[in-house]
Amino acid sequence: MRIDILTLFPEMCETVLNESIIGRARKAGKVEIVCTNIRDFADNKHHKVDDMPYGGGMGMVMAAEPIFQSFQSLYHSEEPKPHLVYLSPKGAAFTQEKAVELARLDRLVLLCGHYEGVDERVLTEIVDEEISVGDFVLTGGELPALCVTDAVCRMLPGVLSDDLCFREESHFSGLLEYPQYTRPAVWHEREVPAVLLSGDHAKVDAWRRVQSLLITMERRPDLLSEETLSPKDRKLLEKHRKNS
């Protein structure tokens, strides 16, 4: 898969993308990530890419043409148009389901806005969808683009050591993840749950499922409403209530 990030701050993106799991995946050729500087496509000597908004108002708006030209530079006219996502507070909420969907693409382009946003006309002409990473506003789209890139890349073949590394995590299955523990077995007089030390994989799996259900009920009941509880889940919860 190839991911392109159109940004005014490519160095900022590269600093993050060269580290940890994603950095190793890039070096190993598991994913290709290219950061393109939109300023390189400005048609003025100062590489200015923004201007005052029509109608007045505070701030500046990114101009359409440099964005359009930077996107056009990514592919030849005879090639299929890459899927272009604009990171915007007005976009649809980014979810694990959307990350899975984007991970199936061969090409993905992420457009980072800045200032007061982007000229609406270029969005209408080339953007396929707008995505928001939360109900808040940032100074630019770089951090959201990095979040999307990380979420997508970690599900690509060979990026993580095993698919189970992400299949049992929060949100992937519709539930929040169960608690995790490591050595030592006792820390600050707090003990690891005995079932995790039992060596009984069936009991461990049942405990983890119950914990996921309970945590989701407590913290994100809205997620549980979308999760159809199986008869086995109901039985596990009933057994837990009797034992607690």
- CATH number reported for the structural domain that contains residue 134 in this entry: 3.40.1280.10
**Segments forming the whole domain that contains residue 143:** 2-153
Q: Say yes or no: 172 and 128 in one domain.
A: no
230 and 149 part of one domain: no
Same domain, 133 and 58: yes
Q: Which residues contact 217 (CB under 8 A, 6 or more apart)?
A: 224
- Are residues 120 and 143 both part of a single domain? yes
Does residue 121 form part of some domain? yes
Does residue 62 share a domain with residue 26?
A: yes
- Is residue 159 situated within a structural domain? no
Q: How far apart are CA 238 and CA 68, in angstroms?
A: 58
Question: Are 209 and 106 within one domain?
Answer: no
Burial of 191 (0-12, 13-18, 19+ CB in 10 A): exposed
Same domain, yes or no, for 50 and 144?
Answer: yes
My answer on whether 46 and 131 are in the same domain is: yes
**Angstrom distance (rounded) from CA 226 to CA 138:** 30
Q: Over the stretch 37-63, which tens digit does the pLDDT of each residue have?
A: 999 999 998 999 999 999 998 899 999
| pTM score | 0.86
CATH number at residue 234: 1.10.1270.20
Same domain? 15 vs 65: yes
Tell me whether residue 50 is in a domain: yes
In a domain, 160, yes or no: no
126, 153, 180 — which closes off a domain? 153
- Give the count of domains, the chain: 2
User: Cα separation of 156 and 99, whole Å?
Assistant: 11
User: Which residue has tokens 């979040």?
Assistant: 147
Q: Which residues pair with 37 in a beta bridge?
A: 7
Per-residue pLDDT of the chain (244 residues; tens, 9 = 90+): 999 999 999 999 999 999 999 999 999 999 999 999 999 999 998 999 999 999 998 899 999 999 999 999 999 989 999 999 999 999 999 999 999 999 999 999 999 999 889 999 999 999 999 999 999 999 999 999 999 999 999 999 999 866 554 455 545 567 888 999 999 999 999 999 999 999 999 999 999 999 999 998 899 888 887 656 888 888 888 888 888 7
pLDDT of residue 172: 57
pLDDT of residue 242: 85
Does 75 lie in the same domain as 12?
A: yes
Q: Are residues 147 and 173 in the same domain?
A: no
> Tens of pLDDT along 2-24?
999 999 999 999 999 999 999 99
